[in-house]
A and B are shown apart, each in its own frame.
Chain A
């Protein structure tokens, strides 16, 4: 187990070092996120609907799109330099490789979310500080599920002819349970409703994470095997 985590960490660290050396992908993702948030402001009638009503949906659609951008770059890096072959020849287990990729993606997407969240609060005048703890928890839970399935899907999509188009087609149906749950819980938090009302959604979110992380670990091997 320790070996597994050590190798996963090494894979993640390599990815992240590469990423932050050039920072292009990260900065682009940030700019993209800010732009999407800004566009959402104009994509509504401010007199008809209050920002707080739409805010949870806006937040999570923004996170979803930014997350998919982040996922796309993950295996694209490898493919460019045929670096994946080198990784596969190494004695690292496929599971460690997968976990490493997930970890790197989590850091990348998490960093984008961490900057996007205050920006979102600013643009839409949403008081997030009183509910920051539970909000971060929900974001973390949904992001784990999103990144786990997304990493697996992007490992397949990157080998197809239309990789950037393929990823959303593969991934979006799988995002409906976690994103729906996240939006509903977020809406409850913003309107200061009791947390107990969303226990069903929380259970769904946790259950999704457990089942799909396990399934993706199990099946990642089949997407890489020679």
Chain B
């Protein structure tokens, strides 16, 4: 058995996970669009909520994972932790982008403008900037140990930054209240809507886990392969 075969098998076995996750997302889509009642004040656009909010939850979960694995990495220096953090950042970036795309599309009919520096959306925007900085930094450092250390430091500082951005936006908003066309507020969710939302949380989290697992196994496979080739070259 060549050294890469177990890694390749593990990778292939994860593909069905992704397929199942995407099928479940389709189920959420159908449930949200067809089986969930339309909200009276906001209209059909309110249903964007069922995609936007679970995506936001995953984005912050991913960022939290990056922060925690960064701390652990600085203690035990296992390069697999660094790889895992980097994969979580990349997958998290995808979900963060989805939040930032669906947010304005929801905002335009509800608030009247595409972007209003709303507290949660602004925080998500800065999450995007920090993850981007993290990925750019990784791309710009070639030595693996240095890359891992730098990423870990940035990951931890980024996690520390989040509450400060939140407070900044909150203070800013109380001084400069936003004009709103319709006030979404916190929806008091009747049963059917709550079920759809919770289903969304579960399914999007599963999608995240499937994509993260695949991404990590992919990166590990590449590492194992380059290592095997280096050994063959030495021999």
Report A-B touching, CB under 8 Å.
yes
Q: Which A positions have Cβ atoms within 8 angstroms of B?
A: 149, 152, 156, 159-162, 166, 169-170, 172-174, 176-177, 180-181, 184, 200-201, 204, 207-208, 211-212, 215-216, 219, 222-223, 225
Report whether A173 and B140 are in contact in the complex, using a CB–CB cutoff of 8 Å: no
Q: Which of A170, A176, A180 contacts B154 (CB 8 A)?
A: A170
Report whether B140 and A166 are in contact in the complex, using a CB–CB cutoff of 8 Å: yes
Q: Which of B74, B164, B171, B172 contacts A208 (CB 8 A)?
A: B164
Known A166-B140, A173-B129; contact A156-B157, beta-carbon cutoff 8 A: no
Bound-state CA distance A141–B214 (Å) is: 46
Bound-state CA distance A208–B166 (Å) is: 12
Q: Which of A174, A180, A201 contacts B161 (CB 8 A)?
A: A174
Report whether A225 and B137 are in contact in the complex, using a CB–CB cutoff of 8 Å: no
Q: Give the one of A173, A204, A207, A212 with max B CB within 10 A.
A: A173
| 6 tightest Cβ-Cβ pairs between the two chains A and B | A160-B140, A177-B164, A173-B129, A177-B168, A219-B153, A222-B149
The smallest C-beta distance from A73 to any residue of chain B, in angstroms, reads 19
The smallest C-beta distance from B181 to any residue of chain A, in angstroms, reads 26
Interface of A is mostly: helix
Task: Tell yes or no: B167 within 8 A of A by CB.
Answer: yes
Task: Tell yes or no: B40 within 8 A of A by CB.
Answer: no
The smallest C-beta distance from B165 to any residue of chain A, in angstroms, reads 6
Q: A211 contacts which chain B residues (CB < 8 A)?
A: 160, 164
Known A166-B136, A173-B129, A211-B160; contact A156-B167, beta-carbon cutoff 8 A: no
Chain B residue with Cβ nearest A223:
B153
Interface of B is mostly: helix
Bound-state CA distance A176–B164 (Å) is: 9
The smallest C-beta distance from A142 to any residue of chain B, in angstroms, reads 13
Q: Which B positions have Cβ atoms within 8 angstroms of A?
A: 74, 126, 129-130, 132-133, 136-137, 140-141, 146, 149-150, 152-154, 156-158, 160-161, 164-165, 167-168, 171-172, 175
Known A159-B141, A200-B171, A215-B160; contact A177-B165, beta-carbon cutoff 8 A: yes
Q: B164 contacts which chain A residues (CB < 8 A)?
A: 177, 204, 207-208, 211
Report whether A180 and B168 are in contact in the complex, using a CB–CB cutoff of 8 Å: yes
Report whether A222 and B161 are in contact in the complex, using a CB–CB cutoff of 8 Å: no
20 CB < 8 A contacts A-B: A159-B141, A159-B146, A160-B141, A161-B140, A166-B140, A169-B133, A173-B130, A176-B126, A176-B165, A181-B171, A184-B172, A204-B167, A204-B171, A211-B160, A215-B156, A219-B74, A219-B157, A222-B153, A223-B149, A225-B149
Bound-state CA distance A5–B158 (Å) is: 28
Q: Give the one of A172, A208, A219, A225 with max B CB within 10 A.
A: A219
Bound-state CA distance A170–B172 (Å) is: 23
The smallest C-beta distance from B130 to any residue of chain A, in angstroms, reads 5
Report whether A156 and B161 are in contact in the complex, using a CB–CB cutoff of 8 Å: no
The smallest C-beta distance from A209 to any residue of chain B, in angstroms, reads 11
